[in-house]
Structure formats: C-alpha cells, structure tokens
Amino acid sequence: MSYQSRLPKSPLAALAVVALAAGTTTALSGAVPAAAFPGIHHPHAHPTITSQPWGDFEGQTVDLYTLTSGAGMKVTITNFGATVQSLWVPDRRGRSVDVALGFPTLSDYVNDFLQQHTGVAWPLSGGSGDTYFGATIGRYANRIADHSFTMVCSNCSNNGVTYTLPANNGTNTLHGGDLGWNTKVWSASTSQGPGYVALALSLTSPDGDEGFPASVTATVTYTVTTDNELRIRYDITNNEPVGGKATVVNPTNHLYFNLAGESSGPVFDQLLAINADRYSPIDTNFIPTAPYQLSVAGTPFDFRHPKPIGRDITNVSSPDGTSGPFPQLVIAHGYDHNWVLNGSGYRLAAVAQDRGTGITLWTYTDQPGVQFYSGNFLVGDLTGTGGHTYRQTSGFTLETQHFPDSPHHIGEPGWPSVVLNGGQTLSSMTTYRFTTGGTITHFGF
C-alpha cells in the first residue's frame, strides 16, 4: 500500500544506483569504479563541475552549476527550484545544441515560477502562465482533483484525515501548489569520480507545507556521465517516526525538449516512441476519468512505434477510420496526458529523435507513468535562452511520474501507491541519455 525503498531491479540499473549512491557521499574518493557505468563510450573523457553566482532570491544566494561530460555534453543547473537551465549536446556533425527550453536569467525564473503566489501574471495576464521549465516538481507532480485528498494508510496516525491544498489550477492542485519545490532555494553539494560528476540538491519541506502532511527531506542528485547521460535520482524521506503521519509524494522533472535546439520552432517533425500500450483519458479538468486506462491502438495516442509528434496532433482522420478531431486532443489542445508505461522496474520509457540534428533522447525510469506534454500552454509571450519566443509545440516534456490524481485512488487496483509512511524513503531514478546516429525506425520495447 505504500512506497518501499524502490531501487531499480535490473542488473544495469542496480549498478547505476550503487554508483550514484557512492558518488553523492564520497567526493573525489575514487571509490566508484568506471565499470559501474557500463556502456561508457568515452572512457578517457574527463567530466567537470563548476559553479558561479547567479543572483539572490529572498536573501538567499543562488548559484548556477555547470556539469560537463567530457564527451560534448554540458548541463547548467541552478539551485533555484533545482532547475535545469540548459542542456547542450553534440549533433551528428559535432555542433553543440541546447535541447532544453529555458530562460536566460534568474529573475525570469522567479517571475515565471512565483506568479501564482504573487498573483502578478508574467509577462502579461492570459499568457503562458507558469512553465516549470526544467524544474524539480514536488512534493506532488501533476494534478490532485478538488485540491484535497483523504489519507488512506496503515501503521500511521492520520488514516482518514482529509487535507485541503492550494487550488492553483482551476479547482485542482497542480505540481505541489503555489509554492512548490520549484520556488525554493535548495542547498547544494558536488562530487565527482571516474566517469561522472554529480550535484546533490536538498531541501526540507515542513509538515503542512502547501497543505501536505508530514515533514519530508528531499535530495535530487543530478549526475552527468561520460556516456552523455543526465541521471536524476530522487531520495525523499518522511521525517515522521514510524507510525506517525504518512504523506503523498510524486517528484518529477519538468524539462521541455526540442532536439533541433530550443530556438528552432515546432517539434512536429521530431520522432517519438513511448513504451506504453495504454494512456489515461482525462475530463475537462485534466483529471483522469473512468475507465482510467485506454488502449492507444487506433488512436493518435499510439506512439508504440516512432512517429512524428505532429503527425496525428492535427489529423482529423484517425487510423481506425473515424474522422473529426480526437476528443482527448481537443480537451488538452494537444498532448497533455499520462501514458501507462509497460513493464516495471528501471526500463526504457521513450525514445525521441530529430532527424536533422540526429540528436536522439533515450528516457529510462523506474516510474509507472510518463506525462507527455506538447507545450500547449506556450503562447508566444516568453523569450528563451537563445533570444527567441516559445510557442505551442516549441518543446515537449517527458515527465516520469506516478499517475495523475493518484491520492484519490489509494489502494485501488491499477494505481501504484504514492503514500510514504513515517520513517520511509522513496528512491527513484530517471535518466535522459543522448546519442546521435541513424534514423530510428523501430525499437524493441
């Protein structure tokens, strides 16, 4: 009924987790053998990590960290919101391309991420709203209907207690509330070893934070490897004693990708495949609705084989012979849904590719779902890191996570639990790995 300490089960994944755990605790110790990163393409590469001051937020110093793989990948991450600001990878000709949507300055992030709290729409009302560009989302990613839930737990002190949360998305709670983890300054520590550099970012979210029960401590560890991977590990501990208050947690990262470059325009032609036979249909409040999981077969939601993201998004003729706009795409103005990933444990969740740059993104996760969002709320009012404006489909997200609105389905079959009991730790990992190469035509999920 509740989270156990979930570590990936496959031999490859288990190795990865061991390496990360050691990497976050023993900087420069050399304790992590290179062999812990199977598949290293660049064994002689030298990853680096540096930092620079990036400004202040509410009297706290904010830094921008730069992690390089030594094999052409460079990631900048700020401890404001534990946010990935840019993600540079080589294309097939060796040119460096920033494949992550982001802002050039800290004040842009503060204006964008704090607007729900301050009530000051940025840059104008009726605009793109809070983008969550590259941010860490917590304590609960995605939507909780009616901005409340009733805890269902055993060996806990709050079974049956109903909690009221901020309504920051119509009547829903979205991405942890008005002041989610993307609005906090995280404390940082760095480490490195053979084949990797790592940035560990931590915060404590107190009991009652945004209405959620129980104090939790979260650490997000970003690791860049010589294999041009960005690994994101979450360790979240419920600080209550065993038998104390349980809580719900569902962390994710909100990177928007554009594999032709963040300024390059629509991602319609980029290929995407998702390792999922089913998706979660939503109602007009974007909340999963019965029967909760539908087959993708014969619908625009079928990404079981690589296809251009835009192929069916505007297509009024469905593969099953019906015609007219697909209702689920009408509700969301595009894709903004949970795909129920096939299998369990740490596994390949999705592959995406731009055929021009050749940049290919491999997403691995131990999570049960992925929210594929086609940037539908971007309306052309935001200027990104490269000086261009972002519009619908300027980028797409692959937010690995539990199913939306899971707190209303605790204990129900088909709904993996998001309950974290006192004394328990959730450990989870998602990897974004970049390669270049031939056109993906199929892959064996």
Residue placing its CB nearer to ligand GAL in the complex, 115 or 357: 115
Distances (CA, A) of 152 to 2, 146, 247, 421, 432: 10, 17, 10, 11, 34
Which region among 269-277, 293-301, 370-378, 387-395 touches ligand GAL (by CB under 6 A)? Answer: 370-378
Alpha helices in 64-165 (DSSP H): 106-113, 115-118
Residue placing its CB nearer to ligand GAL in the complex, 227 or 399: 399
Residue placing its CB nearer to ligand GAL in the complex, 286 or 364: 286
How many other CB atoms sit within 10 Å of the CB of residue 445?
Answer: 18
The DSSP code sequence of 258-325 is: -TT-TTS---TTSEEEESEEEEE-B-TTS-B-TT--EE-TTSTT--SS-EETTTTTS-SB-TTS-BS-
User: Count residues contacting ligand GAL (CB under 6 A)?
Assistant: 11
SS3 194: coil
Which region among 12-20, 105-113, 127-135, 295-303 touches ligand GAL (by CB under 6 A)? Answer: 127-135
Q: Is the CB of residue 381 less than 8 Å from the CB of residue 124?
A: yes
Options 254, 337, 402, 409, the catalytic residue: 254
Residue placing its CB nearer to ligand GAL in the complex, 98 or 130: 130
Q: Is 132 in the site for ligand GAL (CB under 6 A)?
A: yes
Q: Is 264 in the site for ligand GAL (CB under 6 A)?
A: no
Which region among 85-93, 128-136, 188-196, 383-391 touches ligand GAL (by CB under 6 A)? Answer: 128-136
SS3 23: helix
Q: Is 175 a catalytic residue?
A: no
Which region among 2-10, 97-105, 124-132, 383-391 touches ligand GAL (by CB under 6 A)? Answer: 124-132
Please report how close the Cβ of residue 157 comes to ligand GAL at its closest, in angstroms: 32
Among 86, 371, 385, 435, binds ligand GAL (CB under 6 A): 371
Q: Is 210 a catalytic residue?
A: no
Options 229, 240, 262, 399, the catalytic residue: 399
Residue placing its CB nearer to ligand GAL in the complex, 182 or 421: 182
Cα distance between residue 180 and residue 195, in whole Å: 33
Please report how close the Cβ of residue 121 comes to ligand GAL at its closest, in angstroms: 13
Distances (CA, A) of 206 to 217, 230, 235: 8, 29, 16
Phi, psi of 209 (to 5 degrees): -60, 120
Q: Hey, which residues between 164 and 223 contact ligand GAL (CB under 6 A)?
A: 174
| Nearest in space to 217 (alpha carbons), one of 232, 229, 209, 206 | 206
Please report how close the Cβ of residue 39 comes to ligand GAL at its closest, in angstroms: 30
What would the two tokens of residue 435 be?
A: 């390669």
Q: Is 303 in the site for ligand GAL (CB under 6 A)?
A: no
At a CB cut-off of 8 Å and minimum separation 6, what does 227 contact? Answer: 37, 39, 40, 41, 42, 69, 71, 195, 433
Among 178, 262, 302, 336, binds ligand GAL (CB under 6 A): 336
Residue placing its CB nearer to ligand GAL in the complex, 199 or 287: 287
Q: Is 131 in the site for ligand GAL (CB under 6 A)?
A: yes
Cα distance between residue 81 and residue 79, in whole Å: 6
How many other CB atoms sit within 10 Å of the CB of residue 74?
Answer: 17
> Which residues contribute to the site for ligand GAL (CB under 6 A)?
129-132, 174, 286, 336, 371, 373, 377, 399
Catalogue the active-site residues: 254, 399
